[in-house]
Structure 1
Amino acid sequence: MTRDAMKIRLKYVVEDVDRHGNVRLYFRRNGKKIRLPSPIGSPEFLAAYKTAFAGESKAKSAPKVGQVIPGSVRFLYAEYYKSAMFRELDPRTQKVRRGILDRFCQHKNDGDKPFALLQPKHIRARRDEMMDRPEAANGMVKALRQLYKFAVRYDLHDRNPATEIEYLSPKNADGFHSWTLAEIEKFEETHPVGTMARLALALALYTGQRRSDLVQLGKQHVRDGWLVFTQHKNRNRSPVRQEIPIVQDLQRIIDASPTGDLTFLVTAFNRPFTSNGFGNRFRKWCDEAGLPQCSVHGLRKAAAARLAEMGCTEFEIMAITGHRTSKEVTRYTRAASQKTRAESALKRMTAERK
């Protein structure tokens, strides 16, 4: 085989002449030069050429720091972030989900592994590593379910391995502490009518709404004695429009309290609360009343429980709280419903004996 023929067949081989007139062979690619033994076409030359070609190809394909590998888990969730499924989520939900998926990818470089090879056993093993934090483990499983739901919906994958993973039982199966009547009275004694704290308690107790809704309620939502508004949660994907009557006790407290122009609840600087800011402020109000176990979310649960004790059906309670399914309402009202059913059953037994 002639030297010219070898030049045509072998890519990136060049000849350089040194200052003494000697011809030297090099493998040159991407600005790099690797010396090759002479003569061209010899076994030594071909072996060195093969090694140089393989090494440069591997170096070229190796990902740079921070580079997303096509087909990896990190690639999948980068595509997920661009989708309508993700963009329609509430900004706070987006932030939380990003954090969960980022931590998943950083764990043992799982983000660089092919997403198509992720099996239920891999997710279950990661979940079990987090057994001391069941809420965080369940949050990870939920985030992966949504990630692979996107993959299936957009024809990037044919199955959702995360749906086969069971949630762990939370440390506190009943969730947030539900306020008792005694605790409500203790809070009212500490924060009388006319204070922002008492107004916040009344709004939460008599509307049963989340704190993200409480901070947006204002005079513009009042229509003929009703609060008419769209709940903040899922407002972009599946909005829930609420119409709740303003009971007499709530109206009395609103009339006696200082309120903002756009929202009933305002900060010391007469500005609307953020959801997190309101949660922190309410936490201080509870501590001032000696109620460290209580929270604003617990009032939503207490409102549902009180309605259940009054004999309201789950659908009637859902009309107040805005829940789409009865699953959460059942969890909120389990104890109250048991008490109501027990009382009703014993009344029937007594009546039958008489």
Structure 2
Amino acid sequence: MKVKLRYVVEDIDRHGNVRIYYRRHGRKTRLRGPLGSPEFLEDYNKAVVAAPATTLNTVLGANQIKPQSLRWLCVQYYKSAMFQELDPRTQRVRRGILERFCQNNGDGDKPFKMMMPRHIRKRRDEMVDRPEAANGMVKALRQLYKYAVRYDLHDANPAEKIEYLSGSAEGFHSWTLAEIERFEKQHPVGTKARLALALALYTGQRRADLVALGRQHVRDGWLVFTQHKNRKRKPVHMELPIIPALQHILDASPTGDLTFLVTSFGKPFTSNGFGNRFHKWVEEAGLENCSVHGLRKAAAARLAELGCTEFEIMAITGHTTSKEVTRYTRAASQKTRAESALKRISGEHSKDKSVPLFRKDN
């Protein structure tokens, strides 16, 4: 199958070797081959992300960016190590947020030093119906001005103390046992869908990690790998035991050479591609609002129900702080505490006698 992507060109050197490049705005970036390979796609995505940062002046016209404007500050930020060290996907998302902010009411042409906390709060409040998007905007501006302060371009960060909107306390839906059983009934052991479910449920990892796991990560019955998130800045190294239930499904499932999960063409999934395919498997099982990330939450919640501490759960999920784990396991922890409390009450009295939860003193 011929792969056709924008700005990809091929040159033949004097030795007859085919070289692949990403060429845009007069700049060429060498890409690894062959076309369509995981290495090629990785290099292509990096080139797409990097190109705007180095050619933004060309695209907009150098004379169109006002010095000391908010857009000017964004351009400087994109060139900085603070931005370049981010994951490519994070770069794309953050750039999109900042560009949309600049385009609103011509804010990109205004002096960035004139930005005040009230301006950010006003924009945040206009997005109250989209709390996650509003919080993402606040975070992006916070990082932009953090760069400005760090590089002595400004003496204050107007977004530093802007409060996040509360949004949804629950976030992604955590799978119930009934939903897991329904998925398993639709997708028996030996299918890719069941393998995907088992990997997500029995490792508690993110989508980007699930698509990268393979036999090269197996060492003496353990999965040994570095999580994809923050791997460049604050890498989290993981060692997880492969429990018998997961090993059984791995042994009974078709897998790839380098990754357990592969496409119908035998190639590793991209993170987004896997998410789309998993969504179809969920629909085939007649389920709604069930995602890969929801299985990560379900795994953490189940560990909480079994009495695991937050630090033990963090050792499985790879979280570096307990904030997110607490949110994941809030409902499970409440259930466990309630069960424990009622068992203590019932244990202190006769099983034949009804006991009120609260006793009025005589």
User: TM class by shorter-chain length?
Assistant: 0.7 to 0.9
Partner of 1:234: 230
Map Cα deviations across residues 189-228 of structure 1 (whole Å, 9 max, x no partner): 0000000000000000000000000000000000000000
Q: Structure 1: any 5+ residue segments left out of the alignment?
A: 1-62
Matches within 5 A, 1:1-354: 67-170=64-167, 172-353=168-349
Residue 75 of structure 1 aligns to which amino acid in structure 2?
Answer: W
Residue 349 of structure 1 aligns to which amino acid in structure 2?
Answer: I
User: How far apart are 1:66 and its partner, in Å?
Assistant: 6.3
User: How far apart are 1:164 and its partner, in Å?
Assistant: 2.3
User: How far apart are 1:353 and its partner, in Å?
Assistant: 4.3
In 1, distance between residues paired with 2:221 and 2:73? 49
* TM-score, scaled relative to structure 2: 0.79
Map Cα deviations across residues 70-121 of structure 1 (whole Å, 9 max, x no partner): 1111111111111111111100000000000000000011011111110001
Partner of 2:17: none
Deviates more, 1:232-241 or 1:343-352: 343-352
In 1, distance between residues paired with 2:100 and 2:63? 15
In 1, distance between residues paired with 2:126 and 2:62? 27
Q: Structure 2: any 5+ residue segments left out of the alignment?
A: 1-59, 351-362
Residue 95 of structure 2 aligns to which amino acid in structure 1?
Answer: R
Residue 245 of structure 1 aligns to which amino acid in structure 2?
Answer: P
Q: CA RMSD in A?
A: 1.3
Secondary structure, aligned partner of 2:223: strand
Going from structure 1 to structure 2, the CA distance change for 1:319 and 1:69 (only over 3 Å counts) comes to same
Runs of 4+ with >4 A deviation: 63-66
User: How far apart are 1:69 and its partner, in Å?
Assistant: 1.3
Map Cα deviations across residues 244-302 of structure 1 (whole Å, 9 max, x no partner): 00000000000000000000000000000000000000000000000122111100000
Residue 279 of structure 1 aligns to which amino acid in structure 2?
Answer: G
Partner of 2:29: none
Residue 161 of structure 2 aligns to which amino acid in structure 1?
Answer: E
In 1, distance between residues paired with 2:239 and 2:215? 14
Going from structure 1 to structure 2, the CA distance change for 1:282 and 1:66 (only over 3 Å counts) comes to farther
- Percent of residue pairs bearing the same amino acid type: 78
Secondary structure, aligned partner of 2:264: coil
Give the total of aligned pairs: 291
User: How far apart are 1:64 and its partner, in Å?
Assistant: 6.6
In 2, distance between residues paired with 1:64 and 1:189? 58
User: How far apart are 1:169 and its partner, in Å?
Assistant: 2.1
Partner of 2:27: none
Secondary structure, aligned partner of 2:90: helix
Going from structure 1 to structure 2, the CA distance change for 1:277 and 1:66 (only over 3 Å counts) comes to farther
User: How far apart are 1:141 and its partner, in Å?
Assistant: 0.5
In 2, distance between residues paired with 1:207 and 1:265? 14
In 1, distance between residues paired with 2:228 and 2:191? 25
In 1, distance between residues paired with 2:242 and 2:61? 60
User: How far apart are 1:157 and its partner, in Å?
Assistant: 1.0
Secondary structure, aligned partner of 1:163: coil
Residue 192 of structure 1 aligns to which amino acid in structure 2?
Answer: P
Deviates more, 1:304-313 or 1:342-351: 342-351
Secondary structure, aligned partner of 2:160: helix
In 1, distance between residues paired with 2:336 and 2:150? 44
